Amino acid sequence: MGVTFEKKRKIFHLFTKHFSYYIHVNKYNYLIHLYSGKYLNDISKERVSERYMERYAFLNDEKKETMDEDYYFSFVASQFEVAPFGKGDKRNSPFIIEGENNTPITNFLFQSYKIIKGPYSKNKYPLPHVKFLSSDVTTLIITLKDEYKEVYLELYYEISEKFDCLIRFSKIINKSSENIKVKKLSSFELDLPSSNYNILALKGTWGNDTEVEMIPLNHSLTKISDNHGGRGFYFNPSVALVSNEASLDSGEVYGFSSIYSSDFSYEFKVDEIDQTRIIGGYNEETFEYLLKENEDIYSFETIIVYSNKGINGMSQLMHNLIRKRILPSTKSIQKDFILLNSWEGFYFDFDTDKIISLVDEAKKCDINLVVIDDGWFKNRNTDTTSLGDWEVDNKKIDLKKVINYAKNLGMKIGLWVEPEMISPISDLFKEHPEYALIPEDYKHPTLFRHQLVLDLTNPKVIDYIFNKISKIFDEYDISYVKWDFNRYLTESYSSFLSTERKKETNYRFILGTYELLNRFNKKYPNILLETCSAGGGRFDLGMLFYSPQIWASDETDITLRASIQYSKNIFYPLRSIGAHVSNRKIGSIQDKACLAFFGTFGYELDITKLNEEDKKQIKFFNSLFKDFHHVVEDGDYYAIFSPFKTNYVAWNVVSKNKKECLVYFMNYKKEQTKSRFLKIKGLAPNKYYFNSLTSDIYKGSFYMNVGLNLSCPMDPYFSALFVLKEIDDIRATIFRKTKQVDGGKRDKLM
């Protein structure tokens, strides 16, 4: 069992083989955080809790001053599991509730606990979540009650030995007779006894969707958050706390990833004695929730992993859990598709003949899925009109003819949609302007990309849009859908919601999106769904709960794409990262394919205009996809060179059985000869591997400790994808004696 409770000392221990998390219920019924980190089989609450700061003092029932005589509890310095708000702890608090008297003092105290073998039942849980099996986890539920109100807080801890992770979320229940406002609701609080860390965050903007940013902790409040209501490029809802001594492969790293697609917040606060508090939850800037009697609300779930094997160790823990327990089980259809998207080839300018010619050329190049992007529905020849109408433009394209033509060739057809949006120039807006997300009597709503957002807080709108798109997928044999979301929320105060619930708009909007996605998946389980948000603007675990892959970025130039994918790889499994070969200027088809191979892999160009050599390259990489992409999909990922620290970007992925390894390398600016060795990671040290780059065979220990000698001149944007494949000892010995050039001269490395 992964949870124990020692009654005498009132200590909870949550643990896996590698990780421990200790909580103490002190004599005042505060939850005190004792320890989190490398597995620890014993702890002293006294030695850990000692803080020689101002002691706890209060007026007792007789109105006399009472002073705690020990140094084991201090509002100023103790490490809390749930810090109060408005009391002596003036650091940030994870929960703030306000009664009808508008007093927001919040002080949750321990009441009871329950330990469950298996996960908490999610039957009534309205948000995406980790889909644990009963054998995966043990769950601790701690119930607390507010000191002043009949309001209860439930803390959930799902600890998994199998996946070496902790899942945190919470629920607030109003059992009082008055209405309360939940002003701040968090998934977790984690207090650490040191400030010896940097925050690893993923920042970005359109076209440069994800970049690694290392932010030093400091004594002011550092907040990593988003308030866009969805399409937020600026910060991603996955972050890490990296110790100052840590590297890619060693040192302590805490990883946090929120299973949510709207406004989140991570707060990092270093106190006056250099302790660090981390709080993750809803962004209180755009969140407030009314709870009436006997109503409740959950936070979203946050995954917490701990690694003492550096950033790569943290990445592997995240990837394994996400692949097995968050992504929808569509691998059987996902793995077979190599797709070609029409957008960068045609944009809006296509017809039946053009799409059929695209299908013909795709077939010749062993591509088996052609996606018709924006422009297939009525009056949609620019991006200014018709979102929400969703009827096939039969004058522009005979969709059934295209589908039947593709089917006769053994191929599939996919479509682009943007269900959450509405164009002011549309039949839907003329008939139902109230379906748009605009406050009552608001005269000049903001447009982005010539469009507004549908009010998905309104069940009628959800029903309308689902029924509308269902007519398309019921009538036409579609195998893939690209679900886009091209603008963020503004003026997001729903005219559908009552005045007292206006501030719930962003939260209720994303619940509406999840409802749409859930309905779609249930009705069309055999359609491969890929979400998108003007590129990678909504790349998070909430979306990955419904779609097994997300378009990583609208920027497909390898110079930026390499850093975008490197950054996303830190938290998200490579099989979830939508990556295509495009017609951008920099790099050959081969250069682009080497990078796209380490994602979902596909194409974004007009294949009918390529020369024969390019088509030959496409066929070669498609063959490589069939032989080796399973390593990308399920293998262990290791970053080697960071593009934010070096002139190179490199990583490798090793199959679970360590028999195969794929390596990616790209050089940025031109360099002459310099000493440059690429050390591969994660191989079996005593196994022989054939290296497709140099046609050599060496043991894994050689590749890992010496590495591949790349000490040669390099042109800008030189790219390479190569394979290391295990060879049995006999074949390796024969090859090394007869063909290996160790004793001879190599004319050229590459």
Q: Which two structure tokens, joined as six digits, stand for 152?
A: 């209860």
- Is the distance from CB of 536 to CB of 550 less than 8 angstroms? yes
CA 589 from chain centre, in angstroms, equals 29
The single-letter code of the amino acid at 501 is R
Strand boundaries in 259-295, DSSP class E: 264-270, 276-282, 289-291
| Whole-number Å distance between alpha carbons of 141 and 143 | 7
Residue 609, sorted as left (phi over 0), alpha (psi -120 to 50) or beta, turns out to be alpha
Annotation marks residue 70 as catalytic = no
Tokens 């295209």 correspond to: 402
- 236: number of Cβ within 10 Å: 28
CB neighbours of residue 279 within 10 Å:
24
Amino acid found at 156: Y
Q: Which of 673, 538, 560, 544 is nearest to 600 (CA)?
A: 544
Instruction: For residues 325 and 314, give the distance between their C-alpha atoms in angstroms, rounded to a whole number.
Output: 17
φ, ψ for residue 348 (rounded to 5)?
-85, -10
- Residue pair 127/514 in contact (Cβ under 8 Å)? The answer is yes
- Out of 554, 634, 636, 696, the active site residue is 554
The answer to whether residues 31 and 25 touch, using CB atoms and an 8 Å cutoff, is yes
Q: How far apart are the first and last CA of the chain?
A: 54
- Choosing from 484, 540, 606, 696, the catalytic residue is 484
The length of the chain in residues reads 750
The three-class DSSP label of residue 47 is helix
Are 485 and 533 a contacting pair, CB within 8 Å?
Answer: yes
CA distance 750 to 741: 15
Q: How many CA atoms does the CB half-sphere of 51 hold within 13 Å? A: 23
Structure tokens at 404: 């039947």
What DSSP string runs through 366-380? T--EEEE-S--BTT-
Instruction: Note if 554 is an active site residue.
Output: yes
Eight-state DSSP code of residue 220: S
Q: What is the spatial distance between Cα 597 and Cα 531, in angstroms, rounded to a whole number?
A: 19
Residues identified as active-site: 484, 554
